[in-house]
């Protein structure tokens, strides 16, 4: 019986050595170690052995079985390892391969200008407010002291949907709405950027859709000198610390008194050149002290409160800052124009 077991060991190990894949290995396992295999059969026949032989043969049988099992397990591990290696090799990526270059977009110049203006005023304690582009007559005109017969309300000049509803012609209605929300209690300190619309024929300096930024500060004892200080700070931060402002009297229905604000020419520094049309000054915005009627209509007591307001065109600011000669560049999306504004 011992010889039979040794034969089985040699035979089985030869078959393990010859097995070329896991399936062949599994066949060897079943054939030699399975319930119907020769070793099980030997162990089952042990009852016929003498009491002296039984433990000796039993030990040999166990040894042979363990040796075969160990060889099968070892070889199976080799197959498993090879499988993992093959998979890793197949899935490997070459991390040294250079990536494909991506086209990076740039910020639209109007977006960049709006953000710069916002930053300048946020630094002075203003917050940013937005409102609807489709506006009702009341906020766009009435609340700003533009009564029903005012020439600015001419149907020819605005995009009306109905008698009551139109595309806003300025961002002032956002400020009127903001004041109303404060319910007569100051301070109100906001800037309002956004698109506005006017029925106009487009040319180098006019667009039927353009952008505005308006500002409003209402509180007790707000004075014209506060307006001057805020605008001087803004101009120095947006155009450069070497620039100055100058106020000239003007007229707007929603402010009294009203002013036009000029900035000193950055090209010639006052000497006169093509940019400032030989005057040394460039008009950049309109402003004034909020008309008492306007304060009153939005819920503020004009005896207790005063305020200043201002408005400027974003395209005009951008054209001045970057020496752009045609407003239509902002809306025709020529990549050669847009790609110049990298923010650098």
Taking the alpha carbons at both ends of the chain, their separation in whole angstroms is 92
Least distance from C-beta 329 to ligand 2NL, angstroms?
Answer: 20
Binding site residues, as ranges?
256
Dihedral of alpha carbons 186, 190, 195, 196, sign: positive
Taking CB under 6 A as the criterion, the residue among 175, 207, 264, 306 binding ligand 2NL is 175
288: alpha, beta or left, given left = phi > 0 and alpha = psi -120 to 50? left
Structure tokens at 306: 């005063």
Closer residue to ligand 2NL in complex, CB, 175/207: 175
Please give the size of the binding site for ligand 2NL, defined by CB under 6 A: 21
Determine, following the binding rule CB under 6 A, whether residue 284 of this chain makes contact with ligand 2NL: no
Determine, following the binding rule CB under 6 A, whether residue 287 of this chain makes contact with ligand 2NL: yes
Closer residue to ligand 2NL in complex, CB, 310/330: 310
- Which CA distances in Å does 216 have to 138, 175, 193? 19, 7, 12
Closer residue to ligand 2NL in complex, CB, 4/208: 208
* Cα gap 109→107, rounded to integer Å: 6
CA-nearest of 196, 194, 246, 230 to 309 is: 230
Q: Which residues of 179-210 are buried (b: 16+ CB within 10 A; e: fewer)?
A: bbeeeeebebbbbbbbebbbeeeeeeeebeeb
Least distance from C-beta 171 to ligand 2NL, angstroms?
Answer: 8
Least distance from C-beta 100 to ligand 2NL, angstroms?
Answer: 46
* Cα gap 238→67, rounded to integer Å: 87
Subset of residues 309 to 338 that bind ligand 2NL, contact rule: CB under 6 A: 309-313
For residue 260, the SS3 value is: strand
Closer residue to ligand 2NL in complex, CB, 169/264: 169
CB 211 within 8 A of CB 315: yes
Taking CB under 6 A as the criterion, the residue among 38, 109, 193, 288 binding ligand 2NL is 288
- Which CA distances in Å does 147 have to 152, 198, 207? 9, 18, 26
Taking CB under 6 A as the criterion, the residue among 290, 314, 319, 320 binding ligand 2NL is 290
Least distance from C-beta 106 to ligand 2NL, angstroms?
Answer: 26
CB 191 within 8 A of CB 169: no
Tell me how many degrees the CA angle 255-259-261 measures, rounded to the nearest 5. 135
Closer residue to ligand 2NL in complex, CB, 110/287: 287
**What is the distance of C-alpha 60 from the center of its chain?**
76
User: Which window, 15-23, 87-95, 98-106, 208-216, contacts ligand 2NL (CB under 6 A)?
Assistant: 208-216
Taking CB under 6 A as the criterion, the residue among 71, 135, 137, 214 binding ligand 2NL is 214
Subset of residues 127 to 146 that bind ligand 2NL, contact rule: CB under 6 A: 144
Largest Cα separation within the chain, whole Å, is 130
Binding site residues for Mg(2+), as ranges?
256
* Cα gap 306→310, rounded to integer Å: 14
Contact code string over 218-257 relative to ligand 2NL, x by CB under 6 A: ----------------------------------x-xx--
Determine, following the binding rule CB under 6 A, whether residue 306 of this chain makes contact with ligand 2NL: no
Closer residue to ligand 2NL in complex, CB, 38/313: 313
User: Which window, 60-68, 119-127, 224-232, 283-291, contacts ligand 2NL (CB under 6 A)?
Assistant: 283-291
Subset of residues 91 to 110 that bind ligand 2NL, contact rule: CB under 6 A: none
Residues interacting with ligand 2NL, by CB under 6 A? 144, 172, 175-176, 212, 214, 216, 252, 254-255, 285-288, 290, 294, 309-313
């Amino acid at each position: 019986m011992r010889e039979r077991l040794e034969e089985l060991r040699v035979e089985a190990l030869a078959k393990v050595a010859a097995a070329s894949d896991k399936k062949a290995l599994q066949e060897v396992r079943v054939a030699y170690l399975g319930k119907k295999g020769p070793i099980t059969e030997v162990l089952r026949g042990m009852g016929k052995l003498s009491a002296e032989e039984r433990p000796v043969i039993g030990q040999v049988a166990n040894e042979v079985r363990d040796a075969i099992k160990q060889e099968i397990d070892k070889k199976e591990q080799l197959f498993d390892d090879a499988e993992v290696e093959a998979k890793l090799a197949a899935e490997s990526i070459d991390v040294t391969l250079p990536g494909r270059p991506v086209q990076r977009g740039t910020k639209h110049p109007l977006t960049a200008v709006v953000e710069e203006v916002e930053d300048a005023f946020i630094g002075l304690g203003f917050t940013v407010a937005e409102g609807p582009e489709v506006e009702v007559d009341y906020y766009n005109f009435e609340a700003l002291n533009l009564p029903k017969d005012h020439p600015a309300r001419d149907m020819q000049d605005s995009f009306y949907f109905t008698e009551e509803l139109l595309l806003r012609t300025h961002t002032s209605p956002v400020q009127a709405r903001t004041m109303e929300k404060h319910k007569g209690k100051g301070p109100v300190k906001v800037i309002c950027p956004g698109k506005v619309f006017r029925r106009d024929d487009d040319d180098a300096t006019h667009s039927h859709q353009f952008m505005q930024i308006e500002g409003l500060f209402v509180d007790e004892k707000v004075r014209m000198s506060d307006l001057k200080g805020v605008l001087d700070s803004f101009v120095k931060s947006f155009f450069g610390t070497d620039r100055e402002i100058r106020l000239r009297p003007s007229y707007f229905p929603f402010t009294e008194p009203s002013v036009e604000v000029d900035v000193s020419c950055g090209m010639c520094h006052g000497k006169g050149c093509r940019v400032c049309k030989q005057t040394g000054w460039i008009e950049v915005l309109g402003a004034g002290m909020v008309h008492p009627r306007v304060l009153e209509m939005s819920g503020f007591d004009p005896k207790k409160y005063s305020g200043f307001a201002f408005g400027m065109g974003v395209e005009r600011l951008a054209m001045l800052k970057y020496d752009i000669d045609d407003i239509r560049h902002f809306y025709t999306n020529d990549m050669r124009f847009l790609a110049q504004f990298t923010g650098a």
